[in-house]
Amino acid sequence: MRILIVGAGAVGGYFGGRLAQAGRDVTFLVRPSRAIDLGRDGLRIISPHGDAVLTPKLISAEETDTPYDLVFVSVKAYALEAAMNDFAPAVGPETMILPALNGMRHIDLLTKRFGEHAVIGGVCLVAAEIDDQGRIVQLADFQQLIYGERNGETTPRLERLDATMRGAGFDARLSPDIMQAMWEKWVQLASLGAITCLMRGTIGEIVAAPGGAELSLAVVDESAAISNACGHKPSEALLSRHAAAITAPGSSLTSSMYRDLRKGAPVEVDHILGDFIERGDAHRVATPLLKAAFVNLRVYQDRLPKH
């Protein structure tokens, strides 16, 4: 398969790098500034699963003119609309678009632009960031990519995708219920993002404060209630694991939103929390803690310099 990775940030760079390292046909669509860095230093990965320095195939938006078999989209949600313009020439009649974004709003945007058939579902589980040297640093050892047809069918194109993804140096799985997996990730992400950003700390720091663990669990309950009301009840096993993770004493666990917040960077507040809360409001689900986090982050976001 000819694979186009849109962006070479922490997520796209990590999974695209591992695919390239495994000999897959991978090209990265990058901005000029990132192209300069990658051309000079290579694509550098620092990981518990092994470090790597790769010389990636790069392409700019202006150079994209032929369809790819797979377009892997992992930009931040607020950058999606601009990215769609950049990769549109790479989408042909049989191209699969695999988004690894958070929440659900991106599915609406992608299907409106490229049609229902082009867009498959995806869940990406990895903790990674770009450090001050431009390297992709994996912060924990989990690295999973899940994908599937949004209607739950197992199709020949997904079997082909699965064969391409397996054995590429990360956990790859074809899901028969990708929408459920996407909603369950949203529950985890919204609750972890809300509590770490609202309390401005790691899970260990929050739990160490009196009432911190109870507050964390209350945010999980609000998040699960939204998902349940929207027809995607999280499994008891997932909620049990997430509750344990979000109340673990001494844990250094944070969210990507909190790490962006600490850097003074934009956050995905509208996509991870705003859209989530709106869907809960439509079903009259009370979410005071999620709303407090949302307002808090919107105040932060609105103070940032406008580009």
Two tokens, residue 161? 């995708």
Q: How far apart are CA 258 and CA 139, in angstroms?
A: 14
**Catalytic site residue 185?**
yes
Q: Which of 230, 197, 154, 201 is nearest to 301 (CA)?
A: 197
Q: How far apart are CA 22 and CA 3, in angstroms?
A: 13
Q: How far apart are CA 42 and CA 49, in angstroms?
A: 19
Q: Which of 185, 263, 291, 306 is catalytic?
A: 185
Two tokens, residue 31? 């901005």
Beta carbons of 212 and 219 less than 8 angstroms apart: no
The total of other beta-carbon atoms located within 10 Å of residue 274's CB is 18
Q: How far apart are CA 109 and CA 103, in angstroms?
A: 12
Beta carbons of 90 and 71 less than 8 angstroms apart: yes
The one-letter amino acid code at 184 reads E
Helix and strand numbers (H, E) in the chain are: 13, 10
| DSSP of 174-230 | E-S-HHHHHHHHHHHHHHHHHHHHHHTS-HHHHHHSTTHHHHHHHHHHHHHHHHHHT
Quick one: CA dihedral 273, 275, 280, 286, positive or negative? positive
| Residues annotated catalytic, as ranges | 185
